[in-house]
Amino acid sequence: MNIRRLGATVATVTALSLATPTFAIQSGGGTAGRTQLETISVDFAGGSLADFVSALRQASDGQAVNILYQPEFAGLQLPPMRLDEVHLYSALRVAARLSEDRPALMPDGREAMWEVEADGGGGGSHIYVISVWADEHEDEHDEYEHEEDEHEEEEHERFTTIQSLAGLISGRHAMDADAVLSSIQIALDMTDEGDADLRFHEDTGLLFARVTSMQEDAMHETVGMLMQSAAARREAHSQSQTSRLLDALGVDSAEDAMRRLNAAEAALDEATQMERRVREVQADFEAEMRGQQRMTAQLDEEVSELRARLRQAEEIVQEQQHQRRELEVRLERMRAERDTLRAELEAMKERVRPRE
């Protein structure tokens, strides 16, 4: 049995490669346009929340970006950050989570924390809503921190949960197990609720975790985002395969390929019918040939019988000719004997006459 135990890790934003959900950003002002699955890169030198949102809009390169926040927090100061090839939602979440570790400053010196939520309902682009919490007075801030600490102590009760990673680390487009586990570990670390006890069973793909409620939510959310990212990669791979297939077929679109397929099926049906007709003609020809062969065999038998009868007739004729020759010989002999007898008779007659 192969079980891997994961320890807590600490990483900076520039070293992270966060797995994020793939959102469909439509071009145009809310009209149904071409769906894009693209990432952005932003190098923010630091400044206000308004400057950060403006930098995100510029990095989006004309894609629809809907980010809402209360105008009174436009001057909220954010630290420098550089993000390469991330989704818009990831950029906002990373910046928001930085405020959890180190609250940002308002222009009037107050500390503030903020978070972002994504609304993906309807058929248009996603809307990202930024919520900001700023301190009012120092005593109220201390009281809030005291209540928050007590609340965190209550919320930090840990329990065991199980998450299946088999759908991510197996299959044709499987992710690397270490990459999946490191993404989950990063999400757990950013909850700031202590170290989570993770144990991964490689043979079954099950992840056993001893976590808090917030850490469980972060773990499930990360796995869900990884699932969406894997699905997007599979879809992109499928589209790439489709493009290669269309190129191999020499067509511009699936409609052209379908038309060619229909034409090929029609040609195949016609060829099948032609083959059936050829087989029928061939069967008729073979039947006719068998009939002629039977007639030929019958004629051969009749010819053989006639030849036998002819040989018998020839033998009879030869026998009759032989008998005729024998009769002719006997006839000649009898004629000769007759002539002899006639001569003898005449001679006798001559001898008898004088006596008379």
Residue 170 has pLDDT above 90, yes or no: no
| Tens digit of each residue's pLDDT (9 = 90 or more) over 303-332 | 999 999 999 999 999 999 999 999 999 999
Q: Does some domain include residue 322?
A: no
Residue 110 has pLDDT above 90, yes or no: no
The count of C-alpha atoms lying within 13 angstroms of the C-alpha of 256, restricted to the half-sphere facing its C-beta, is 11
In 147-222, beta strands by DSSP E: 159-164, 197-201, 206-211
- Winning range, highest mean pLDDT, from 17-26, 135-144, 212-221: 212-221
Residue 271 has pLDDT above 90, yes or no: yes
Three-class secondary structure of residue 5 per DSSP: strand
pLDDT at 167 (0 to 100): 84
Mean pLDDT of the region 179-194: 89
Q: How does the average pLDDT of the chain come out, rounded?
A: 80
Residue 175 CB contacts under 8 Å (≥ 6 apart), including other chains: 168, 169, 226, 230
36-45, 147-156, 215-224, 332-341: range with lowest mean pLDDT: 147-156
Q: pLDDT exceeding 90 applies to what percent of the chain?
A: 29
Three-class secondary structure of residue 233 per DSSP: helix
Q: Does some domain include residue 341?
A: no
297 vs 236, more confident: 297
Mean pLDDT of the region 140-169: 70
pLDDT at 136 (0 to 100): 65
Mean pLDDT of the region 3-8: 50
Amino acid sitting at position 220:
H
Residue 9 has pLDDT above 50, yes or no: no
Rounded Cα gap, residues 172 and 262, in angstroms: 31
Helix (H) / strand (E) element for 241: namely helix 213-249
| Tens digit of each residue's pLDDT (9 = 90 or more) over 123-145 | 677 788 898 877 764 555 555 55
What band does 32 get if pLDDT is binned at 50, 70 and 90? Answer: very low
Q: Does some domain include residue 155?
A: no
pLDDT at 11 (0 to 100): 34
Q: Does some domain include residue 31?
A: yes
Q: Does some domain include residue 105?
A: yes
CB 220 within 8 A of CB 160: no
Q: Does some domain include residue 90?
A: yes
Q: Does some domain include residue 65?
A: yes
What band does 33 get if pLDDT is binned at 50, 70 and 90? Answer: very low
| Tens digit of each residue's pLDDT (9 = 90 or more) over 64-74 | 888 888 888 88
Mean pLDDT of the region 155-177: 84
| Tens digit of each residue's pLDDT (9 = 90 or more) over 225-244 | 988 888 887 777 777 767 77
Pick from 274, 273, 245, 272: nearest CA to 260: 245
Complete DSSP assignment for 90-159: HHHHHHHHHHHHS-EE-TTS-EEEEEEEEE--SSS--EEEEEEEE---HHHHHHHHHHHHHHHHHHT--E
Bridge partners of 300?
Answer: none
Q: pLDDT exceeding 70 applies to what percent of the chain?
A: 81
Euclidean distance between the first and final Cα of the chain, in Å?
A: 166
CB 89 within 8 A of CB 51: no
91-105, 202-216, 319-333: range with lowest mean pLDDT: 91-105
Q: How many domains in the chain? A: 1
Q: Which domain holds residue 45?
A: 20-135
Three-class secondary structure of residue 170 per DSSP: coil
Q: Does some domain include residue 320?
A: no
What band does 120 get if pLDDT is binned at 50, 70 and 90? Answer: low
